[in-house]
Amino acid sequence: MNIQDKISLKVKNMPPSGIRKFFDVASEMGDAISLGVGEPDFDTPWHVREEAIYSLEQGKTVYSANAGLLTLREEICKYMKRRFDLTYNPKTETLVTVGGSEGIDVSLRTLLEAGEEVLIPEPSFVAYMPCTIFAGGVPVPIATKAENQFKLTADEIENAITDKSKLLILPYPNNPTGAIMEREELEKIAKVIIKNDLIVLSDEIYAELTYGINHVSIANIEGMYERTIILSGFSKAYAMTGWRLGYALGPPAVIQAMTKMHQYVLMCAPTTSQYGAISAMKNGDSDVREMRKAYDGRRKLMLDGFKKMGLSCFEPKGAFYVFPSIKETGMTSEEFCEALLKEEKVAVVPGNAFGSSGEGYIRCSYAYSIAELKEALVRIERFVSKILASKS
């Protein structure tokens, strides 16, 4: 028997994430600097950790309600009202998930019939495509463009729509580009979405991390509330990646169907994490403000650094990534990243890992200390100027 043959083709044929190989090499070099990590460098605020510890001391270690602790759901709904002016019912329109990732998986599997198409703007988070395929759907990438600041346009959606289109994933603020969608831009795409009767999975995991402008959810646009599922979580805003906690908000029928699936697959999200998260929702606004301020300073430092190197880099208004173009060097993203790692020991992520439209770019996370970022910029600058000099 060849056990290999027993693995489903759906899984076997899925390429591994295009990220790892660089970082396996990087982690073996002692003095390499990595700008590759997609998670905050802050620790979870102490009051959140303390609340979770207290819940453990109290022996609150049993399953929670399938949809999550009601208190947490209530706090999430208050938070959504306070921060984004959106009203959800904690009992019928809120599901606490195991990270934003589960939200993506469960919503796709809840909504998709085999062969239905999911529109996925790219470059974007690497899990949308595999999760769509695992759910039996067909991913239809939409390449967003640097000249549109990687925003999604109505025309681009229209061109991708077929009679099989069912869902649009809306990944803004965007990983890896840092692009955001503003109200007027959302209004424009909303028309197309409504006209074609699409459902939107709005991945708003970076909603708290926008700079100089507040995040607007597409659920806030007229006619969109009833066809939008918001997927979000605690990982990025509250530096809680390891807690694996997120939430989904949307029309009762969808949330209840998702809850059914969630109940069979996962029972409930980790109870300890949920107790901590209650404190994040209740008392965490100032923590988020402080972290956002720190990220903003680093963002400007990175942007300035890349501009001084002569690489074009549009100003990211969200998340914690910059996405400079390296086309000037004449190298592909992968060549650039490999050579940069070899010569200057800096690890960044090639843009094509996020879809073919990311070719010609690199993603640099600025979830690192100012000192590390400055050192990385010095090294990248040395590397780039050598290449540009040898070309001219």
Partner 1 sequence: MRNKILELLEENSQYTFEDISIMIGIPIEEVASIVQQLEDEQIICGYKTLINWDEVEDKEVVTALIEVKVTPQRGEGFDKIAKRIYMFKEVTSVYLMSGGFDLTVVVEGKSMKEVALFVGQKLAPLDNVLSTGTHFVLKKYKEHKVIFEKQKKDERMIISP
Check residue 32 for interaction with partner 1 (CB under 8 A): no
Q: Which of 80, 112, 118, 126 binds partner 1 (CB under 8 A)?
A: 126
Region of 30-38, 88-96, 186-194, 329-337 interacting with partner 1 (CB under 8 A): 30-38
Tokens 């000192």, located at residue: 371
Check residue 175 for interaction with partner 1 (CB under 8 A): yes
**Cβ distance to partner 1 smaller for residue 223 or 310:** 310
Q: Which of 109, 166, 236, 298 binds partner 1 (CB under 8 A)?
A: 298
Alpha-helical regions (H) of the chain:
9-12, 20-28, 46-57, 70-84, 99-111, 128-134, 154-160, 183-195, 252-265, 271-283, 285-309, 333-344, 370-391
Distance CA 26, CA 105 (A): 30
The footprint of partner 1 on residues 350-389 (CB under 8 A) is 353-354, 363, 370
Q: Which of 32, 70, 266, 301 binds partner 1 (CB under 8 A)?
A: 301
**Cβ distance to partner 1 smaller for residue 27 or 162:** 27
Region of 267-275, 278-286, 300-308, 338-346 interacting with partner 1 (CB under 8 A): 300-308
Compute the chain's Rg from CA coordinates: 21
Check residue 313 for interaction with partner 1 (CB under 8 A): no
Rounded least distance, CB 17 to partner 1, Å: 7
The phi, psi pair for 349, rounded to 5°, reads -105, 130
Q: Which of 313, 100, 352, 109 is nearest to 207 (CA)?
A: 100
Region of 2-10, 15-23, 68-76, 271-279 interacting with partner 1 (CB under 8 A): 15-23
H-run or E-run covering 120: strand 117-122
- Judged on CB neighbours under 10 Å (0-12, 13-18, 19+), 162 is exposed
Q: Which of 32, 70, 127, 388 binds partner 1 (CB under 8 A)?
A: 127
Question: For residue 383, how far is the Cα from the chain centroid?
Answer: 29
Distance CA 76, CA 363 (A): 31
* 95 close to 259: Cβ distance less than 8 angstroms: yes
Q: Which of 152, 326, 349, 384 binds partner 1 (CB under 8 A)?
A: 349
Q: Which of 32, 41, 116, 332 binds partner 1 (CB under 8 A)?
A: 41
Tokens 């996405």, located at residue: 323
Number of Cβ within 10 Å of residue 243's Cβ equals: 25
Rounded least distance, CB 391 to partner 1, Å: 28
Instruction: Note the residues at the interface with partner 1 (CB under 8 A).
Output: 17, 19-20, 23, 27, 34, 36-39, 41, 125-127, 175-176, 293, 296-298, 300-301, 304, 349, 353-354, 363, 370
